[in-house]
């Protein structure tokens, strides 16, 4: 997990967060050993902002990876406290990542908390609801 934290910290400066000044980075570890990073990208029309978790996931899917390829995810910020994924990211994580995948939430001090994907959004709206 330390390698993922290092990669996430390296990606943080790429965040385009000129409105909130709140940088977030996420790194996915894939089954083949590769990693995919994402950062938050804000927009003056705030609804068009994309979070780091979704940026990384969409990049992975754009490269042909699927949910069974994702082994773990690490999310970090420049904050000293833990910041969990927003509701929209939790919904996307639930659909695009297997339920048992570990999500590591880290802070600026390098501390971490790990939860299973299913625990981020236990009553998610899924394809089963359609």
Residues with active-site annotation: 53
The number of angstroms, rounded, from the C-alpha of 108 to the middle of its chain's C-alpha atoms is 16
**In the structure encoding, which two tokens stand for residue 18, read together?**
């000129």
**In the structure encoding, which two tokens stand for residue 58, read together?**
């969409």
Residue 99 Cα distances to 13, 90, 93, 95, 113, angstroms: 30, 11, 9, 9, 17
């Amino acid at each position: 997990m330390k390698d993922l934290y290092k990669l996430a910290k390296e990606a943080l400066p790429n965040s385009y967060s000129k409105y909130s000044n709140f940088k977030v980075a996420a790194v996915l570890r894939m089954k083949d050993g590769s990693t995919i990073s994402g950062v938050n990208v804000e927009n003056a029309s705030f609804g068009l902002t994309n979070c780091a978790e979704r940026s990384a996931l969409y990049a992975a899917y754009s490269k042909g990876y699927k949910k069974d390829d994702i082994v773990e995810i690490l999310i970090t910020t420049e904050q000293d406290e833990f910041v969990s994924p927003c509701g929209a990211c939790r919904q996307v994580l639930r659909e695009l990542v297997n339920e048992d995948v570990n999500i590591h939430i880290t802070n600026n001090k390098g501390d971490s908390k790990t939860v299973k994907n299913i625990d981020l959004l236990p009553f998610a709206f899924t394809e089963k609801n359609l």
